[in-house]
Every structure is written in structure tokens, then in C-alpha cells.
Amino acid sequence: TVISRGQTVISRGQTVISRGQTVISRGQTVISRGQTVISRGQTVISRGQTVISRGQTVISRGQTVISSCHCATLINRKQQMEGDITSIKKSQE
């Protein structure tokens, strides 16, 4: 059925929400342009940031939580390394 001009029901129970946004499969929705639910319970948080698997989240570009227990350690270690690199660069200048 055509709901309105340019919007089509793809299959029973699946609806185009707005132009360019499609329900991929039952229970999976495009949240906004360029953001897709990959599988049940996994959501793209913002452009370029993806939930890899249940309980594992990309916090910001280039920072990945590998497991919930290691997340704080990994992020702190990355920030420490970045801090060290910055201080080395400053001292070289």
C-alpha cells in the first residue's frame, strides 16, 4: 500500500517511516538518516559510532570498549598516551 506519495509499505508489518528511512526487518528501524539498527539491541549512537555487540560500545571515534570491566582502563590508558605524546611534542618544540 502507498501511505503517501513516495512512501511505500515494503512487506506486511514493515513501513517506510519517512523519505529515505526504512524498516530493515521486523523490530529494526532506521533512527535518522545514515543511522541504522544493525541487529536487535544494537544501535548506531551517532554517525561513525557503532555498538559492536551487546554491552560493547564505541564511546567516541577511535575509542572502543572491548569488555565492560576493561573500559575505564582502556580509555584512561589511551588518554595517558595522548597526554604523553602531547607533552613530548611540546618539549621538542
pLDDT of residue 20: 55
pLDDT of residue 23: 52
Full-model pTM: 0.18
Q: What is the Cα–Cα distance from 34 to 65, expressed in whole angstroms? A: 23
Of the chain, the end-to-end C-alpha distance in Å amounts to 67
pLDDT of residue 82: 66
CB 62 within 8 A of CB 50: no
Per-residue pLDDT of the chain (93 residues; tens, 9 = 90+): 556 666 555 566 555 555 555 555 555 555 555 555 555 555 555 555 555 555 555 555 555 555 554 445 555 666 666 666 666 666 666
